[in-house]
Amino acid sequence: MQPQKMRAGLSLLEVVLALSILGIAVGILSTILQQSADNGLRARRMTQAQMVCESKMAEAMAGALPLQSTQWTPVASVDSSTWYYSLEVIQAEQPNLIGVVIQVNDELAMTESQRPLSRLVEWIIDPSLGLDTKPVETDATGSSIQ
C-alpha cells in the first residue's frame, strides 16, 4: 500500500469560491453602510428643520414675529443651508382662539404633493382681545389711578 500524499495548498476552485463569497459580503456591507449614511443625513436634515420650526414658533409667541400669514420666507442660517418658513394664522372652532401654524422646508419650489420637513401648530388666545394687558386700577369713585 502506498502512503497518501499531503496537499500543500488550495485548489483554484476553492480560491475562486472564497473570493466570490468575500465579494458578495463586501457588496452587502457597502449597501448597508450607504443606507446608514443616507439615514443619518436625512435625520440631521429633519432635526435642523424641527429646530428652525421651533425657533420661529418661539419668535411668534414672544411677539418678535408678527402674527400674520406669510408665504415662504428665507431664514437667516448659521451654516450654508437655506431654510424657508411659512406662517399661517387660522381661526379655531372655539371662540377667541387662533391657531398659529409654522411650516419649514429647505426647498422653495415645493410641489403640492410634497410635505414640509417640519410643521408645528400652537393654539393661543386671540391677542386682539387685549387679555395680555394689565387692567386699569380704579379707586372707590370709579376714576383710574395712575
Domain architecture of the chain: domains with CATH:
12-129 (3.30.1300.30)
For the entire predicted model, the pTM comes to 0.69
Amino acid (one-letter) located at 88: E
Instruction: Split the chain (146 residues) into runs of 10 and give each run's mean pLDDT.
Output: 72 94 97 97 92 93 90 82 91 89 84 81 85 68 67
Q: Are 102 and 120 in contact (CB under 8 A)?
A: yes
